[in-house]
Amino acid sequence: MSYWSAVYFLMVTMSTVGYGDITCETSIGRVFQLMFLGVGLALFASVLPEILELIGAQSKWAGTYHGAKGKRHIVVCGHITYESVLHFLKDFLHEDREDVDVEVVFLHRSEPDLEFEGLLKRQHTRVKYFQGSLMNAMDLERAKVHDADACLVLANKYCPDPDAEDAANIMRVISMKNYCEESRIIIQLMQYHNKAYLLNIPSWDWKQGDDVICLAELKLGFIAQSCLAPGFSTMMANLFAMRSFITSPDMAAWQNDYLQGTGCEMYTETLSPSFSGMTFSQASELCFVKLKLLLLAIEVKPIDGGDTKISINPQSSKMPANTVGFFIAQSAEEVKRAWFYCKACHEDVKDENLIKKCKCKHLANKTGATPATPFSAALSKPLLNIKNSVMAKEENGSKPVMNGRPTNKPADQQKNGKMEVGIADDQAKDFDFAKTEMKYDSTGMFHWTPARSIEDCILDRNQAAMTVLNGHVVVCLFADPDSPLIGLRNLVMPLRASNFHYHELKHVVIVGAVDYLRREWKTLQNLPKISVLNGSPLSRADLRAVNVNLCDMCVILSAKVPSNDDPTLADKEAILASLNIKAMTFGDIITNIESMGDSKDALNNMGDTTVKRPGPIYGTNVPMITELVNDSNVQFLDQDDDDDPDTELYLTQPFACGTAFAVSVLDSLMSTTYFNQNALTLIRSLITGGATPELEIILAEGAGLRGGYSTPDTLSHRDRCRVGQISLSDGPLATFGEGRKYQDLFVASLRNYGMLCIGLYRLRDAALTTVDATSKRYVITNPPFDFGLLPTDQVYVLLPFERKQSRFSFSETEV
């Protein structure tokens, strides 16, 4: 027998197959065969568990990403759970984004659970999942981070320790930047002050697309905008999120109007050469009337060749060729009309759907303009434009009106002698607007005051009751002494933007535990007109002391850490406070106010910058916005609504009315920022009232705002567009509330006053002619051109700082 025949015989015998083609002829051979078979089987049985263990240890999530050639992919990491991934993919892969050919690669330490695995299987053609750590270079190599179009780091919004969560995510960024410096990183952070640590990473460069989405900064910025224009946060949250709407005749009329607005998003598109040489107002009117598009802003390239800037509703400047515009529309397909529009071919076209690419050479002959690339034009690019509210003066020498309340002019105040002030108005005492120069921070973007001790701003209940507060902002804050800081500076700074005059600033009264506020005070001490009441937001006596019924907005916040036992109870204090205020009545206080003086002048002199007027008798009419941690708890805010507990937040009545806000609505910003690098810059600068990279560096030092001299350069920074909410019940636009169409209002406002209308705030019960205890308003984003107007409507407008309508008075709210 040959050697290989012997090997063949032993292998067949060992495997117990035994073909029988070779057999043992002798007794010794047969004994050896039996011994070999027994020993071989024993050895095989002993190593079999190890073999099975090695096979089982090879996870199906331990592979390597192999993308198709030429196909882009992004890497998503951080807080990866079924819920966070579901919300992210719902927005990122939305149908309105058309043909977004980008694969999503998730990298996480743990294996997905069964529910998560089911989601991955449903999206297997566009989503991949790998198990690994971002701190391991081999795992980064497996996910092909160096080839990724971007790396997105998600934060756990419900974590018990926000600073620890931010530190972990910043370490992930350091690891990815250490592996590949050119990687574009978009990270979510919980706390504003942790943004400073990203600046310490040498390869972190916002000019290359690196961005940070600070949830506390943007959440409180949205709420601040609601203090200036109620409901505006709902409008903007709907605009930068990808949503589809389906109206139904079975729904109430107000729901159909609201849903139509939720289908609008923000997009970018290059304007055709036909727009070259037009002013922004002319281009915006043409887009709305002819193309049925709402043009909000344009990209402006500085003459000195600096970084491109975004200008909202600019005045008097001519637009160059290839200007990129920012639009509100229902889909990216509609926005393409702005590029296809040709004056020679489409000037007489009445149907906007017929405005398509024409065959004439008009486009090609002008400056060689080319359409925007799919990444900057055809793709959906939700953006955001959020700014501050507006106040204007009245015609014929009557008193200015702010939030529906007339105010004293400086001249009137001087005639009256010493200005009437309250105890809490720390800067208005002996302040002469005509002789004293207002002070701003070193960037010129915010009002500034020398640092004050918190002791100078604390009021007890008796002092607060004696202080004349009206047209102010009440912040009801629930916090334990050791609660994580929420960054109240991000709420107050937008209310202190320099494009407000000092006397237009709303006084901010914080009702809460002083022990917690002492820790926050370092960031608030340089912002004017802030008072603190050491009390409880659940105490009706404290709420009456701060005149909650006369405030322009009551904000309910909580800094407490959600309990792991029952997360649904995280909002219990906020909900109780909201219901407590709604159950209050203020009839006795109204009587006391009216008894103090019979004349209107007696009321005029009671406040600092606004006239005290009788507020609502019922707490249900107190303007209010409540921050929620858990979306499902929105069902408890309004007892008279019929929202199903499983209804998405944006479809609920409190959110549609602008009285509820949750941090979850900011999830869409990750996709928004990825598809448009300008988006987050626009959002941050306008939501925050004008934050700039220079200001970020100053605040990173930890010493707070620095004061600066009012030079022509810093004063020029005040020239920023703001948001106003104008009533159609009075003022120069009152005639449009008498059954006119929205297009008439849009054109007249733009031509005569330079105002850009972007939406309506309408009473839910359209039959009401006056505001009563049950009246609620809802947001209508970018109404159709033929939408009928009502006298009770309020209009959201974008107003330039130097406005044409300064001789008129626009009230911001009635409720």
pLDDT of residue 629: 87
pLDDT of residue 39: 85
pLDDT of residue 805: 44
Cβ atoms of 775 and 768 closer than 8 Å: yes
pLDDT at 365 > cutoff 50: no
According to the 3-state scheme, what is the secondary structure of 707-774?
Answer: EECCCHHHHHCCCCCEEEEEECCCCCCHHHHCCCEHHHHHHHHHHHHCCEEEEEEEECCCCCCCCCCC
pLDDT at 26 > cutoff 60: yes
- Please indicate whether residue 359 or residue 31 has the higher confidence score (pLDDT): 31
* Helix or strand run (H / E) with residue 269: strand 265-270
Cβ atoms of 391 and 384 closer than 8 Å: no
pLDDT of residue 578: 92
pLDDT at 113 > cutoff 80: yes
Q: What is the chain's Cα-based Rg?
A: 32
pLDDT at 116 > cutoff 80: yes
pLDDT at 537 > cutoff 50: yes
In the chain, the percentage of residues whose pLDDT exceeds 70 is 81
Average pLDDT over residues 47-67: 75
Least confident of 591-600, 661-670, 689-698: 591-600
Cβ atoms of 118 and 195 closer than 8 Å: no
Q: How confident is the model at residue 391 (pLDDT cuts 50, 70, 90)?
A: very low
pLDDT at 511 > cutoff 90: yes
145, 267, 187: which is closest to 670 by C-alpha? 187
pLDDT of residue 107: 92
pLDDT of residue 745: 93
The Cα 312–Cα 8 span in angstroms is 84
pLDDT at 262 > cutoff 50: yes
Q: How confident is the model at residue 2 (pLDDT cuts 50, 70, 90)?
A: confident
Write out pLDDT tens, residues 542-586: 999 999 989 999 999 998 887 766 777 888 899 999 999 998 888
pLDDT of residue 614: 59
Task: With H, G, I as helix, E, B as strand and everything else as coil, classify residue 645.
Answer: coil
Average pLDDT over residues 602-624: 57
pLDDT at 38 > cutoff 50: yes
The Cα 400–Cα 609 span in angstroms is 10
User: What residue spans of 631-692 are helical by DSSP H?
Assistant: 653-656, 668-675, 677-687
- Please indicate whether residue 502 or residue 59 has the higher confidence score (pLDDT): 502
- Please indicate whether residue 472 or residue 158 has the higher confidence score (pLDDT): 472
pLDDT at 392 > cutoff 70: no
Least confident of 167-176, 333-342, 380-389, 653-662: 380-389
pLDDT of residue 427: 41
- CB under 8 Å to 725, separation ≥6 — which residues? 229, 230, 232, 389, 761, 794, 795, 796, 797, 812, 813
Write out pLDDT tens, residues 704-739: 788 887 778 778 888 888 888 888 888 778 888 878
- Please indicate whether residue 651 or residue 606 has the higher confidence score (pLDDT): 651
Least confident of 10-19, 150-159, 418-427, 612-621: 418-427
pLDDT at 376 > cutoff 70: no
**Residue 284 exposure: Cα atoms within 13 Å on the Cβ side:** 30
In the chain, the percentage of residues whose pLDDT exceeds 90 is 23
pLDDT of residue 437: 56
Write out pLDDT tens, residues 642-674: 666 677 888 888 898 889 998 888 888 888 888
Mean pLDDT (the chain) is 78
pLDDT of residue 59: 65
Write out pLDDT tens, residues 415-437: 333 333 333 444 444 444 434 45
